[in-house]
Chains A and B, each alone.
Chain A
C-alpha cells in the first residue's frame, strides 16, 4: 500500500517545489503553459482592470508614484526607425518619439534625461505596456478602436498624423492599386499597415502576395533588391526614406492613401492621472508652439508674460500643476528642456534633416493643420 502511495506523494512534493520556484525571481520553470498565456493579459486587463492582480493595470495614481520612486520614466520605443527612434553613433537614443519620452521625463522630474528607452518590436509592445514593463508606449503606434479598448491601452493624443501609401518603381508603370493586382507587396508584420493592406485589397477584389519582414530596414532592402513590386507603409516613412534609396528618382509614391494613421503615445487603462500627465505634456508642446514659446525664450517669457493663459502654463499663476500631481513649472521644464512641437519636429523630421517630411497635417490648426491644444485654464 505504502509503495503505491509513495510515487503520488513524491509527485506532490516535486510539484510544490516547482511551484515554489515559480514564485521566486527565477521563474521560468514552467514556461510551457505560461508562454501560451502571453496573449492572455490583454483580455484580463481590458475586462477587469480593478480586479487583476499584480502591477499590470495600476490603479489611479499608482503609475506616477511608481515612476517617481524609481527615479526615471520607462518608455517603450523604437530603436531602428529613422527620424523617430534610433541609436546615434554616441549610443544615445534620438528621434521624434524619443523626444516625447524626454518631454514626459521633463514634466515629471524636471529633468529631460530621467528616462529609459525599452526598444520593443511591434508585436510585443502592447504586452509590455500591460505587464507594467514600460510606463508609456511611444512607438509610432496607430490609434485604433480595438487597441484603445480590447488591448487595454489608452491613446492620449496624436503627435503625428499619417496615412498609408505605396512606393513603386517608375519603370514598372504602376499608377493605381488595380495595377498591383497579382503583384508582391513588402509590408511590416504585426502592424496596422499589414491589416490595412489586406482589407483594402480584399475590398477591391485584388489579389497580391505579401512579403513580410520584422524591421523596417530589412523591408527596404528587400524592396530595393526588387523582391517586391511595391513597398507600403505610412506616407511619412515613404517620403523620408525615398531620398535615401540608391536612385530616388527611379521610384514614385502613388497618390493613393488607403488609411488614416494617427500616431501617438499610449498608456495603460486604469490610471487617469498618468493618462492626464502624458496627454497634457503633448498638449504643452502644441501650446508652446502656438504661443511662440521656445526652448530659448521660455525663461524670458515666463518672467515677462502678461497673458493669463501663458501665466497658468508656466505655473506662475494658479495651481494647474498640482491638479496633475506635478510641479507648478512642469510645462516650463518640458519646453525649456525639450522644446515646443515645431522644435521637436524640425530637429528630427525638419528640412535640415536627412528624414525631411513636410509638416502637412502636422501643423497648428491656425496653419491649416490638425494640432490643437485645449484651453490652459
Chain B
C-alpha cells in the first residue's frame, strides 16, 4: 500500500506534533542537535539574569513616579488636559481618515485600537487608564463617522489631517497670553516624549517640501538654482547634526542682538529641519533618477508642461519608490532628536538624565535607560511596521 504521497510526506503524527517538528527542525542531525543545545543554553544564560533583574531587582518606581516627566517633561500639570485633547483629536482624525479611506482590513484596525487597551493594562492609576481607553472611544467615533457614505469625506479627512498639526501645536503652545482659556506654555517647558515626537514630526513635515525642492533644484538646468541646491545639500550633509545644534546653541547669540533670544525649541526645529532636508533631497533625487526617461517623454507627448509633468507624473512615482528610505530617515531623525539636550531641551532621554540626579532615584540608571530604549524601540518599530503596510497597499516594488 505504498503510494508516492506517503513517501514524500512524513506520517501525520510526525508532521503535526511538537515532537515531530522538533526532530525535523532542531534535532535533524548530530550537528543540528549540538547547535540547538548551545543556542538554547546561550539564550537561557542571557535571558535569566536580564529577566531576574527586570522582575525582582529593578526598581521600576522611578518610572512610575516620574511618568509625567517622561511623557511631557516640565509641562504645567494644570494644563495637561490640553495634551490629552491633542491625543483625542489625533485618535478622532486617524479614525475618520481610516473610516473614509480604508475598506476592509479589519485586522489592522483592531491592532490600532488594541494599542490603548494594551497601554491601559500597564500599571497606571485608574484615572489615567480611563483617559487612555477614551482614546479608543474617539477613534471609534471617527471611524463610524468616516464610514458613512459621503464622497466628500475623503477630501475632508485630508484637510483634517493637515489642520491637525497647527491646531495641535496651538493647543500645546497656548493662544491667549498669560491668562485666559489657553494660557501660553513657554516652549522651554515642553519636554519628554511629547517633545521628542514633536521635533521628529515637525522635522519630517517641514523638511519634506524643502527636501523635494532641493532635489528638484539640484536637477535644474539653471546653474544658479542647481549650484545653490548643491551648496546647501553638501554643506549641511558635510557636517554632523551635533555641530549644527552647537552652532544654534552657542554661535547664534553672537550674531543676534542681545535683546533677541530665539527659543531653544525653535532653534532645534530649524536645525533638525535643515539637516533632515539635505538628506531628504538626496533620497528624493534617487527616486527621481529611477524614473525612466520615457515617462517624461510620454508626459510631454500628452501636452503636459514642466510643472504638471513633475506634479502628476514624475513626483508621485519617485516618492512612492523612496518610501522605505524616507521612513528609515524618519526613524533616524526620531533618534537624532536626543541630541537636542545640547540646547538644554529635555527630550525623553534628557529627562531620564535629570531624573537620575534626584537623590531619591540615584542608582536607577539601568531602569531609566532600559525604559527610554524600550520607548524608542516601540516607536521605531511601530513606524517601520506602518511603512511596510503602506508599501503593501501602494504596491511598492511590484511595478
Contacts and interface: CB of A to CB of B under 8 A. Distances in A.
Contacts of B74: 87, 91-92
A58 B252 contact: no
A28 B342 contact: no
B250 A124 contact: yes
Interface stretch (A8-16, A170-178, A278-286, A364-372): A8-16
A218 B368 CA distance: 11
A29 to B, nearest CB: 6
Interface of A: 6-7, 10-11, 13-14, 17-18, 22-23, 25-32, 34-35, 37-38, 41, 53-56, 58, 62, 66, 69-70, 78-83, 85-92, 95, 116, 118-121, 124, 127-128, 131-133, 215-218, 220-221, 224, 240-241, 244-246, 353-355
B358 A31 contact: no
A132 B253 contact: yes
Interface stretch (B103-111, B119-127, B228-236): B228-236
A10 B227 contact: yes
A22 B255 CA distance: 9
A204 to B, nearest CB: 32
B12 to A, nearest CB: 53
Contacts, number: 179
B114 to A, nearest CB: 30
B259 A217 contact: no
Interface of B: 65-66, 68-69, 73-75, 77, 188, 191, 223-224, 227-228, 231-232, 235-236, 238-239, 243-244, 246-259, 261-262, 270-271, 274, 341-342, 344, 346, 350-351, 353-360, 362-363, 365-366
Nearest to A66: B258
Nearest to B223: A10
B357 A7 contact: no
Given A31-B244, A38-B246, A38-B250, A80 B363 contact: no
A54 B358 contact: no
A87 B358 contact: yes
A215 B253 CA distance: 26
Counting chain A CB atoms within 10 Å of each CB, the highest count among B77, B238, B258, B366 belongs to: B258
B68 A54 contact: no
Contacts of B77: 90
A30 B357 contact: no
A54 B253 contact: yes
11 contacts: A7-B223, A18-B232, A28-B247, A32-B243, A41-B250, A86-B357, A87-B357, A90-B77, A91-B191, A131-B254, A244-B359
